Chain A
Amino acid sequence: QAQLEQSGTEVKRPGASVKVSCKASGFIFTNYHIHWVRQAPGQGLEWMGIFNPIGSRTTYAQKFQGRVTMTSDTSTRTVYMELNSLKSEDTAVYYCARALGAPDGFDIWGQGTMVTVSS
């Protein structure tokens, strides 16, 4: 069945970068957009951006522009989200999720990747 498998827990120092992966299986990779959503401890859901495998087009939430990069490796059906200049406020669970296209909602989610930023 369709699923998204994310990479494991990360611990980073302030100022560092983190790259989280999201591997798709069970569906036609190029038929869907992959979104990234994060959730700080005890907080709500925050949309970060969208990656379209066709043409590798991206749109990032204004809050993250200049600090986030979404890429893919089509051969392995994997999408990556890299966040730079990490701050303690970036400590969160990062989720990838798929959607048919904008503005469709997210029908499949990854299991989440915990990123802790601490000195």
Chain B
Amino acid sequence: DVVLTQSPLSLPVTLGQPASISCRTSQSLVYSAGNIYLNWFHQRPGQSPRRLIYEVSNRDSGVPDRFSGSGSVTDFTLKISRVEADDVGIYYCMLGTHWPPVYTFGQGTRLEIK
């Protein structure tokens, strides 16, 4: 099974400063069209997760352009260009496989304001 390893697990950031979270997968899962189904989610305390990024670098509707996703093969990154107070919470990466369909989450990275 694929394992996703996030780092850091805790990320204190000053308001207005950038932040970066890494997600490494134990195997490369690139499909024939070159797609990698790596997603990023944000979960605020007491709320359901919300997807920010799909297929490595595509922002979901309504997600501020302060958020960006990048990476390839087994190394992926979520970047926040300028952290705002609303960004606190836990960030998860997730990878899906086509067949059999299996989905794996990273352990989560807790972002807090310094």
A residues touching B (Cβ–Cβ < 8 Å)? 35, 44-47, 50, 59, 61, 95, 99, 102-107, 109-112
**Given contacts A45-B92, A103-B98, A35 and B48 within 8 Å (CB-CB):** no
Question: Could you tell me the distance between the alpha carbons of A11 and B54 in the complex, rounded to whole angstroms?
Answer: 35
Inside 8 A of B104's CB, which chain A residues have their CB? 47
- Say whether B48 contacts A45, CB under 8 Å: no
Give the most central of A35, A99, A111: most B CB within 10 Å.
A99
Interface string of B73-114 (1 = CB under 8 A from A): 000000000000000001010111111111111111000000
Report the interface size for chain B: residues with CB under 8 A from the other chain: 30
Other-chain contact of A59, B90, B92, B101, B108 (Cβ < 8 Å)? B101
- Say whether B96 contacts A105, CB under 8 Å: yes
Inside 8 A of A46's CB, which chain B residues have their CB? 105
11 example contacts (A-B, Cβ-Cβ < 8 A) are as follows A35-B103, A44-B92, A45-B41, A45-B49, A47-B105, A59-B101, A102-B97, A103-B29, A105-B37, A106-B39, A107-B54
